[in-house]
Amino acid sequence: MSWLDTMQLRDLDAGDRLELTCRRCGKVRFVKVGELLARGDFGRLWLSEVEARARCRQRGCGGPMRLAMPKSGDTKGFVGGIA
C-alpha cells in the first residue's frame, strides 16, 4: 500500500499540480487537480486509480503513466564539504 492508495483526488487543493511520466517513452506532463475534478466523478477516485487510468498522449505511444506530486518550494544545492 503506497501513498497513492491513501489519498483521494478531492483531498488535494484544486491548484495543486500532479506530474505524470510515461513509463514507455519518458514524456512528462503536468496536470492541475482542478482540471481532473472538472471531469465528472474523478473526485471519488483514489490517486492509484487516477494513475491506472492515465495514458500517454505522445503520438504513437499510449503507454501507462507514473503519478507523482512535485514538491513545492525552492530547491537548494548541497552546501556541505569535508571538514
Q: Is residue 73 a part of any domain in this protein? A: no
Which whole-number Å values give the CA distances from 63 to 16, 59, 69, in the listed order? 24, 10, 19
Q: What is the pLDDT of residue 81?
A: 63
Q: Is residue 17 a part of any domain in this protein? A: yes
Q: Is residue 18 a part of any domain in this protein? A: yes
pLDDT tens for 8-35 read 888 888 888 999 999 999 999 999 999 8
pLDDT at 78 over 80: no
pLDDT tens for 57-74 read 999 999 999 999 887 666
Q: For residue 50, what are the domain limits?
A: 3-68
- Mean pLDDT of the 40-51 span: 85
pTM over 0.85: no
Q: What is the pLDDT of residue 2?
A: 80
Q: How many structural domains comprise the chain?
A: 1
Q: Is residue 79 a part of any domain in this protein? A: no
Q: Is residue 55 a part of any domain in this protein? A: yes
Q: Is residue 77 a part of any domain in this protein? A: no
Strands (E), the chain: 17-22, 28-32, 65-68
